[in-house]
Chains A and B, each alone.
Chain A
């Protein structure tokens, strides 16, 4: 075997393989969960009924912030999970709040009247709050602990298991 040729080949291919391996190690489409572990951005919005809501008032209690819209099918799949969680954990001191994403308030009101909800749904004109939370699609759910720290961000519908596990960790 020609060791010099082998060494030259390795010298050329090894860095290429290393770069490709580093690239394959992460999904370029995977969005960052950079906000996990940071303080949740506080916001002041109005509910679909026009009532003022401030996240600051929820500080001191675990809070679930769910971004959703009526045109989002996975949001509808997730809705019963939120309903059950809100029913079970609101009495234990957990706050649930939903933020409407790129949607019409009237449609959302109609949907919630049909499907029910046990939490305030907020209008987010201009999407400032969604941008502040780095929302890139719905549903996205942020679990905020009593200190106001985002402990978990879930992109896509939250399963019952993840919901319960996360809420139990926060309590």
Chain B
């Protein structure tokens, strides 16, 4: 529709005024309030393309299951991708663009949302298991073998007759 309207308008308008006025015409037709102004000047084309691609990869398509904006063929994802590009070209930083979408769709819209504090608890059992296994291995061995040095051997006097008999048999070769 925009294309048709713009084409129609350009057909009637003087060529010299076309570019600027056409943009103003489009903006007048379709504008929505932004919560804040861009923090940076509009970036050069290469930087903008790089930022846009990174954002489109990191943000989730709102109507898909687990697909990023760049991976989804859905119309909604294409619209979101175009909007990301527009915002980047206007000078919005990656943080601003991400926050803009998170404020609207929730943290869900980030494919890798920031970790929450309570998620650290997930590692507690793993740490406990490793520490526990290490402790058991260390203290269990010590319990079985409290002295790691060479054993002292003191012959039991009550066993002396038996020992003497065995040694005598060995000496006699029988």
Majority DSSP secondary structure for residues of B touching A: helix
- Chain A interface size range: 35 or more
Stretch at the interface among B40-48, B78-86, B88-96, B152-160: B78-86
Asked if B32 is at the interface (CB within 8 A of a chain A CB), the reply is yes
> Which B residues lie within 8 Å of A32 (CB)?
104-108
Asked if B103 and A34 sit within 8 Å, CB to CB, the answer is yes
With beta carbons under 8 angstroms apart, the residue of B33, B80, B125 that contacts A16 is B125
Per the bound structure, the CA–CA distance linking A35 and B106 in Å amounts to: 9
Shortest Cβ gap from A38 to chain B (Å): 8
Asked if B63 and A125 sit within 8 Å, CB to CB, the answer is no
Asked if B174 is at the interface (CB within 8 A of a chain A CB), the reply is no
> Which B residues lie within 8 Å of A132 (CB)?
32-33, 104
Per the bound structure, the CA–CA distance linking A85 and B4 in Å amounts to: 35
Shortest Cβ gap from A106 to chain B (Å): 9
Interface 1/0 per residue, A1-37 and B, CB below 8 Å: 0000000100111011011001000001001101100
> Which B residues lie within 8 Å of A129 (CB)?
30, 32
Asked if B83 and A126 sit within 8 Å, CB to CB, the answer is yes
A-B contact count (CB 8 A): 106
Asked if B121 and A128 sit within 8 Å, CB to CB, the answer is no
> Which B residues lie within 8 Å of A137 (CB)?
62-63
Chain B residue, CB-CB nearest to A128: B32
With beta carbons under 8 angstroms apart, the residue of A19, A44, A126 that contacts B79 is A126
Per the bound structure, the CA–CA distance linking A27 and B113 in Å amounts to: 15
Asked if B76 is at the interface (CB within 8 A of a chain A CB), the reply is yes
Asked if B32 and A42 sit within 8 Å, CB to CB, the answer is yes
Asked if B15 is at the interface (CB within 8 A of a chain A CB), the reply is no
With beta carbons under 8 angstroms apart, the residue of A31, A43, A105 that contacts B1 is A105
Per the bound structure, the CA–CA distance linking A136 and B60 in Å amounts to: 11
Per the bound structure, the CA–CA distance linking A34 and B32 in Å amounts to: 18
Per the bound structure, the CA–CA distance linking A43 and B132 in Å amounts to: 60
Shortest Cβ gap from A80 to chain B (Å): 26
